[in-house]
Amino acid sequence: MNPENKLPVLDCISDEMRAALNANQDDLPPWPPADDFSAMRQHYLHERRFWNIDAPLMTTREYAIPGAYGELITRLYCPVPESKATLFYLHGGGFILGNLDTHDRIMRLLANYTQCTVIGIDYSLSPEARFPQAIEETVAASRYFHQHADDYQLNMTQVGFAGDSAGAMLALASVLWMRDKHITCGRVAGVLLWYGLYGLQDSPSRRLLGGVWDGLTREDLRMYEDAYLRHADDRESPYYCLFNNDLTRDVPPCFIAGAEFDPLIDDSRLLFQTLQAHRQPCEYKMYPGTLHSFLHCSRVMKTADDALRDGARFFTSQL
């Protein structure tokens, strides 16, 4: 597509999204080269510290547990002594960035709004760890806590999975993996998916949107994909292109959130349309004026806080 035909995104976003985009971080260095993953991770961690300030206080516990590929770090957010359910959270970052600290505020707010224990899983990043390792680690962690629920004072009778961006794909892929392989870790009451990618290789939104403001040009998306997947054939795996899986049966209730000016929004729209057409329980909500990753900006964006509250409401309504 001729670049001149792309939508003028920065002229269309909401005032609060623009304020978040222009938030002044004087000590933030320029974005590193695309092949320096270590520098990119440090930059991402540094930038996210600003957005994690003033998160709700609650009891947190961190544990190293046995995973599918060795030790795995997890963090438990415990807003109340007696939780109605346990919600596993997978952070975004294009499979190559992010950790428990970059998404700390999101997990704290989600725990606060659901009044459920949230467990963040620090899955291994790509390209050092490639598909499907992060999925296998997520499944291993959920099984471990299910088997040792009493040791960690967890209510694992009802569970959920949640994530943003790449974490949304990992959340839904892990649920489908467990369904297909008959793995049980408690009743999966709901799946919360904020602006995920679910396997489309092309779409109108991917052509019309994405730029330097969100780091999601078509070249960026291919870079993330190439770092995550082992080889080209993985693009058609039912645990990467989730539309190649069976979405007609036994999909837990899904809350699907889209950002209006996100190049990945067509993934969310199609997921919702597919589940709805096959009478799988789901809800879709599009947040006007927003960009990909807006969930981080709840310090200054009511819309971001609303999106977390909406997901929390959906989850608790399924319990």
Point out the residues that are catalytic.
165, 262, 292
Number of H helices, E strands in the chain: 10, 8
At 79, the amino acid letter reads P
Q: Can you tell me which residue has the tokens 């950790």?
A: 99
Q: How far apart are alpha carbons 106 and 173 in whole angstroms?
A: 21
Burial 219-233 (b: 16+ CB within 10 A, else e): ebbebbbebbbeeee
Q: How far apart are alpha carbons 313 and 230 in whole angstroms?
A: 37
CA distances from 100 to 27, 118, 191, 202, 236 (A): 22, 12, 19, 31, 29
Q: How far apart are alpha carbons 259 and 226 in whole angstroms?
A: 24
